[in-house]
Amino acid sequence: MKEIQRLKEHLEAQRPGGWEELPDLSLYMDQLISYMPRQLIPTETEGDPLTAAMVNNYIKAGLLPRAEGKRYDRRHLAYLTAICALKPVLSMKELAQLLGAVDAQHVVAEDWYGFFLGKLDESMGTVADSLDENAKESELPALALRLALDSYANKLACQRVLTLMEKQGEKVDPAPSPAGEKKKKKKEEKRSEA
């Protein structure tokens, strides 16, 4: 079926921009909001567009570092890309726990974002590989059901793993302290000077 083949190709090819593709100039809120759709993998049934209120809520929830003088940099774009990809699947609390734990393992935002993109690429490839482009129209309901149940099973497993992480004390504040942010920024500056 041509539509399944197109979906498969879409899943294999569409990805958010990498770190180096993100603007190296800081953006104001309206620029950030207009830039973010380029980072998201387009679907036929688009969700709610990102708004300034949503960005402010993510900051208040500790999912996103505060703006620096009303400007947002690559780090903010990277976090927002992850948040927008994961928010249809996880609650704000779960997002904070997951992003905080992943962030704690990666000292520099660029490394963290690279890790995120790698995992996204793996997941998109797995789903694309599972699609049969020779499926008949009569098989679409079964395909949709399997994909929905895979999503359900993955969400259950993710929630259980997050609970295990919390029990093991791996819960980390997703918004590093200002001192931690300054250390990260200095490391990023040294890295870019080299």
Q: Out of 39-48, 51-60, 87-96, 106-115, which region has the weakest mean confidence (pLDDT)?
A: 39-48
pLDDT for the residue numbered 169 = 75
pLDDT for the residue numbered 189 = 62
> And the tokens for 106?
């990666």
Q: Kindly tell me if the per-residue pLDDT of 114 is higher than 90.
A: yes
Q: Kindly tell me if the per-residue pLDDT of 185 is higher than 60.
A: no
Q: Which residue in 185, 161, 163, 52 sits closest to 107, CA to CA?
A: 185
pTM of the model: 0.79
Residue the block writes with tokens 């250390």: 183
φ, ψ of residue 75 to 5 degrees: the values are -60, -45
In this prediction, residues 156-168 reach a mean pLDDT of 91
Cα 148 to chain centroid distance, Å, stands at: 20
pLDDT for the residue numbered 40 = 87
Residues 81, 39 contacting (CB under 8 angstroms): yes
Q: Kindly tell me if the per-residue pLDDT of 92 is higher than 70.
A: yes
- Place 188 in a pLDDT band, splitting at 50, 70 and 90: low
Torsion, Cα of 144, 148, 153, 156 (10° steps) = 180
Query: Where does 14-170 have alpha helices with state H?
Result: 29-39, 52-60, 74-86, 92-105, 109-130, 140-167
Q: Out of 64-68, 149-153, 173-177, which region has the weakest mean confidence (pLDDT)?
A: 173-177
pLDDT for the residue numbered 130 = 94
Mean pLDDT, the chain, rounded, equals: 85
Indicate the DSSP class of residue 68: B
What is the sign of the dihedral through the CA atoms of 143, 144, 147 and 152?
negative
